[in-house]
Chain A
Amino acid sequence: MKKFHQYTMILLAGVLGACSSMSVNDPYEDSLPAGFNASVYVELHPQLRVAEIKDYVAYRNELVSDSLKKAGVDDATLSAFTANDETAFLANTAVAQGVYTVLAGHSAAEWEAYIAQKGSTEKEAKQAVAKVEKELKEFNFINVIEDLNAWSNVPKDQNAYSMQYTLYGKSHGWAYRYCSDSENITNLPVPEGDLDKGIPAAKNPTDFTPITYLVCYDKVAMINRVIQ
């Protein structure tokens, strides 16, 4: 019995040792499918990058206003300064259009509609303009002369993309890579019912069925296909 106890202790120590030696550089590595590449993933889902940029702009603008406050700028002066900066940003139509269509991913038609509605006194048109401008302001770096580099230089956090895939993208049937040429031919498209509707699950949790297969993106047909 005493011997048995000794052996179990040794065994236990061995197990503990084995566990402790499993150093993991990326804790999400195991949950990612083989061949997952965060850069490709974000290319397929630019909205992740857009969200990242918006967060960064908000964070940086907060730093700017904090430092101005520390320098003794009062609240009224600060909000006037911010408003001025935003007006100047929106007035620069070329940049605003680039941001709206290229960065935020809206269509050229939507931009045209915005330009047409701008200056209108109709209630609905005013609301539509305000909505667009609100979105545009989210990209505005306060106290920076706008330069498209400012947005492309926002750091890309590949960990955040990978985590998003594990936490959300995978179960919502988001494609994680491009389909190969043969997959473009052989693989079935994702059934209509399995496509991500973009409705938060929390609103009606029972509606949501997680996708159990992996998905690739067919860039020729521009559809998602099931990976076998």
Chain B
Amino acid sequence: MMFNKKISAFGLTSAILFSAATAFAAENQTEVVTQQKSLLEKLDSLNAAVLGLKINGTAKAGVLASFASSDQYTEDSPTQENQAFTDVNLRLTARPSSETMIDVQLRLHKDWQSAYDENNNPVIGHWFSYDGTILNKHVDFNLGYMRVGYTPLTINTPQTEILQEPEIFAEKRREALAQRNLDTTSRRLLHGLNVAYQSGSVGVVDNITAQLTGARLRNTAKKLDQVFFDFDFSDRYLLGARAGVEAYGAHLGLNYVNVFDRKQTRRSRDIADEDTIKYDKNMVFSADLSFDSKKVLPALPVTFGLNGEFAMSSWNVEREYKTKGKKRSYRVGQATAADGKQFAYVKSSLDSDPTVVIEDYMDMDGTSFYADLFAKGNISDVDFKVSAGYFQTDSNFWSELASSPVYQGRSTILNTGALYVDTSYADLVLGTFGASSLENLYFSVYNSTTLQATNLMTMGGSNALSNGVGESPYLFTRLDNNYKNGHFYRNGYTGNIAKRLELDPLMVLDPSVGLALPLGLATPDRKGINAKVDVNWADKVFFNARVNLVTQGSVPGLDDAGNVTTVENKFTEFAVGLGLDAGNLAQLDRKILVQGSLAKGKEDAYLKRETTRLVAGVTADVWGPISLLAGFQMYEKKFGDNGYGIVSETEEGYSTVLASVTKTTEMLIMGGVRVKLAPISYLTIQYGMLQNDLDFSVPVLGPAGLSLVGKNISINKNVILADVTVNF
């Protein structure tokens, strides 16, 4: 094995890459892709000369103790949860030549509490790819895991945008994403083959591009993996292609994406009589156009331009199920007549004849477009970018690969073992509506645990190992002491892609992604305008503003006479953020970054939601190697009128509102010190306080009939984190 001398240089570049990812997350999403790419290209050239095998990564040893309190807990409820671990992420890169690279990322995780139970701890490989830039740098390719982004209406990941998010939060979010192999860019995590061609300058044409992407996707969209070993026997595929041409600062591109269920693998198993299977096929074809004046008018201090895209989608679903048909069949029988004579006759009978029926279930075609105008430039140390645009998406439009945000939320991350008193409705409300969104945004738990019957995948009431017959008497002996480890997550993010029919309707209720556009620009049935301003004065003062005025075409509502009908829903969203680097302003040699932002969102119909997010934070280099990081975030979500009803539906189709949530109030305060032990090695000690209040009402039957009684779930969590992180 050859260890390269340039390890430290590479470590630094990977650190730059990580921080760059967040820095650009707030930028325009298409922009992120290009900026990332140019950065990667720089890194490529930096590493191009380095051949052979390299190992780098991060090692982290830490503790996370969470102390929860709530008056809804039972007296004997556990209130403390500890995580203590050593987590080593290894990145092995092998470069047989300067053109190509094999990238394998491994994770070793040891939970200190189970250090003795788990004997040998397996290494989990979570990233395998072979990437390269070949044929005189004309062709880039990725094989294996990859991140691919086309355009906001074709392949794109809608990201959570929190303006001026303090570093202490951003870092936590990035960490939670990284555990799922995700990042903060708009590119999508895929597994397959991606090939991109660039011609370079040809005559008047600056560049001709062509790209082909093929990937296998998970068939079923799940909110979260229940267990690490989560598998499915059916396949789902993506075929994507695009081509573009650039000249005189303008770019014209054509994009095509086709996502479909593969029927053959599914059909290798028989359908159960009561089963119904839906095969989904989603195609999107789009043309994108952009222009940037920098190329033709380089002398101007301000450049302007536009970005636009028009997309057509087709979405159809085939449904396959069994009918309990009957078939007449004949066989020869023997009988005796009244006179005692025997004879043969033909006996006809009806036998059950289940046949598989394939029918068209959904067929929708829709269009979507957006057009943004932008101006950016630098006038006396002030960097600015202003953009405004209009977008319109049909209710029939569907672009699956552009519509699944990585943030899903709603799970409980910390203190999952807590027990609630029966009258608290905690199981109902937290189990459906979900827990704190701030907890989901910023916290994650990763464990490795010895596998046994209780944490292996189960089907219905029975264990997968004893399917259909309940629990086998051999169940525990079969699994006892096999010392196999599974890795388990508690994480609010996922890279899975949701089909339209499987889209979690509750997911869109948490506007951590966006109240108006929960599925990004491709959200169906939306039209409106958006505007963005980003200003940076010499890295001393930062200012951002966002405005979204969006109309949703039809949501269920009431007309003047009180009848149920469909009405328009208008969203108003705005956000402003301000950051000041006091150190830079006072011309000190250190960073003292003070940040804050306010975001408000509102809808005037449907659930009449109102959201407020208040963010503040400090990132300061105090003295020498010691920095102080602090953050505050408050998030409030109100549901107007009747609240959000958690509904239970009976088999007969009657629905009953079991509880209705009227308001959630969340707060997260974090603060701590970061000590630089050595270059890119840090000791971090942090304290956090997380508060989650849920107001809801439940119908109670009293002597005076049914009445709504207000209830509240209030959970406080005090978190202490300490870790040593070494990047190498």
Please report A residues at the B interface, Cβ cutoff 8 Å: 47-48, 50-52, 54-55, 59, 104-106, 157, 159-161, 163-164, 167-168, 172, 196-200
Question: With the chains together, A105 CA to B333 CA distance in Å?
Answer: 19
Chain A contacts for B505, CB-based, 8 A = none
Chain B contacts for A48, CB-based, 8 A = 345
Q: Which of B336, B341, B348 has the most chain A CB atoms closer than 10 A to its own CB? A: B348
Query: Main SS of the interface on chain B?
Result: strand
Chain B contacts for A59, CB-based, 8 A = 349-350
Q: Are B338's CB and A106's CB within 8 A?
A: yes
B342 lies within 8 A of chain A by Cβ: yes
Query: Main SS of the interface on chain A?
Result: helix
Interface size on B, residues (CB 8 A): 21
Given B328, B336, B344, B349, which contacts A167 in the complex, CB threshold below 8 Å?
Answer: B344
Given B337, B347, B350, which contacts A47 in the complex, CB threshold below 8 Å?
Answer: B337
Q: Are A163's CB and B333's CB within 8 A?
A: no
Q: Are B338's CB and A164's CB within 8 A?
A: no
Question: With the chains together, A59 CA to B348 CA distance in Å?
Answer: 11
Nearest residue, chain B, Cβ from A59: B349
Q: Are A198's CB and B339's CB within 8 A?
A: yes
B654 lies within 8 A of chain A by Cβ: no
B330 lies within 8 A of chain A by Cβ: yes
Question: With the chains together, A197 CA to B339 CA distance in Å?
Answer: 11
Chain B contacts for A157, CB-based, 8 A = 328, 348
Nearest residue, chain A, Cβ from B344: A168
List which B335-384 residues lie within 8 A (CB) of chain A: 335-350
Nearest residue, chain B, Cβ from A201: B344
Q: Are B341's CB and A197's CB within 8 A?
A: yes
Q: Are B333's CB and A159's CB within 8 A?
A: no
Residue pairs across A and B with Cβ atoms less than 8 A apart, 6 shown, are A52-B348, A55-B333, A59-B350, A159-B346, A198-B336, A198-B343
Nearest residue, chain A, Cβ from B332: A167
Q: Are B338's CB and A105's CB within 8 A?
A: yes
Q: What distance in Å separates the Cβ of B688 from its nearest Cβ neighbour in chain A?
A: 56
Nearest residue, chain A, Cβ from B349: A59
B565 lies within 8 A of chain A by Cβ: no
Chain A contacts for B339, CB-based, 8 A = 105, 198
B136 lies within 8 A of chain A by Cβ: no
Contact with A along B272-297 (1 / 0, CB 8 A): 00000000000000000000000000
Q: Which of B328, B343, B347 has the most chain A CB atoms closer than 10 A to its own CB? A: B343
Chain A contacts for B341, CB-based, 8 A = 196-198
Question: With the chains together, A55 CA to B347 CA distance in Å?
Answer: 8
Given B342, B345, B346, B350, which contacts A198 in the complex, CB threshold below 8 Å?
Answer: B342
Q: Are A47's CB and B338's CB within 8 A?
A: yes
B334 lies within 8 A of chain A by Cβ: yes
Q: Are A164's CB and B345's CB within 8 A?
A: yes
Q: Are B342's CB and A199's CB within 8 A?
A: yes
Question: With the chains together, A48 CA to B350 CA distance in Å?
Answer: 18
Q: What distance in Å separates the Cβ of A160 from its nearest Cβ neighbour in chain B?
A: 4
Please report B residues at the A interface, Cβ cutoff 8 Å: 328, 330, 332-350
Question: With the chains together, A131 CA to B330 CA distance in Å?
Answer: 28
Question: With the chains together, A200 CA to B344 CA distance in Å?
Answer: 8
Given known contacts A48-B345, A59-B350, A168-B343, A160 and B338 CB-to-CB distance under 8 angstroms: no
Q: What distance in Å separates the Cβ of B724 from its nearest Cβ neighbour in chain A?
A: 65
Q: Are A196's CB and B330's CB within 8 A?
A: no
Chain B contacts for A161, CB-based, 8 A = 346
Chain A contacts for B347, CB-based, 8 A = 51-52, 55, 160
Chain B contacts for A198, CB-based, 8 A = 336-337, 339-343
Question: With the chains together, A167 CA to B346 CA distance in Å?
Answer: 9
Q: Are A164's CB and B346's CB within 8 A?
A: yes
Q: Are A200's CB and B330's CB within 8 A?
A: no
Q: What distance in Å separates the Cβ of A136 from its nearest Cβ neighbour in chain B?
A: 12
Q: Are A159's CB and B330's CB within 8 A?
A: yes
**With A160-B348, A168-B332, A198-B342 already in contact, 11 other A-B pairs whose C-beta atoms are closer than 8 Å:** A47-B337, A59-B349, A59-B350, A105-B339, A159-B330, A159-B346, A160-B346, A168-B344, A172-B343, A198-B341, A198-B343
Question: With the chains together, A200 CA to B333 CA distance in Å?
Answer: 12
Chain A contacts for B343, CB-based, 8 A = 47, 168, 172, 196, 198
Question: With the chains together, A172 CA to B342 CA distance in Å?
Answer: 12
Given A47, A160, A167, which contacts B335 in the complex, CB threshold below 8 Å?
Answer: A47
Question: With the chains together, A47 CA to B337 CA distance in Å?
Answer: 6
Q: What distance in Å separates the Cβ of B492 from its nearest Cβ neighbour in chain A?
A: 45
Chain B contacts for A200, CB-based, 8 A = 334, 342, 344
Q: What distance in Å separates the Cβ of A40 from its nearest Cβ neighbour in chain B?
A: 17
Q: Are B345's CB and A51's CB within 8 A?
A: yes
Q: Which of B336, B340, B344, B349 has the most chain A CB atoms closer than 10 A to its own CB? A: B344
Given B344, B349, B350, which contacts A164 in the complex, CB threshold below 8 Å?
Answer: B344
Q: Are A104's CB and B346's CB within 8 A?
A: no
Chain B contacts for A52, CB-based, 8 A = 345, 347-348
Question: With the chains together, A16 CA to B347 CA distance in Å?
Answer: 34
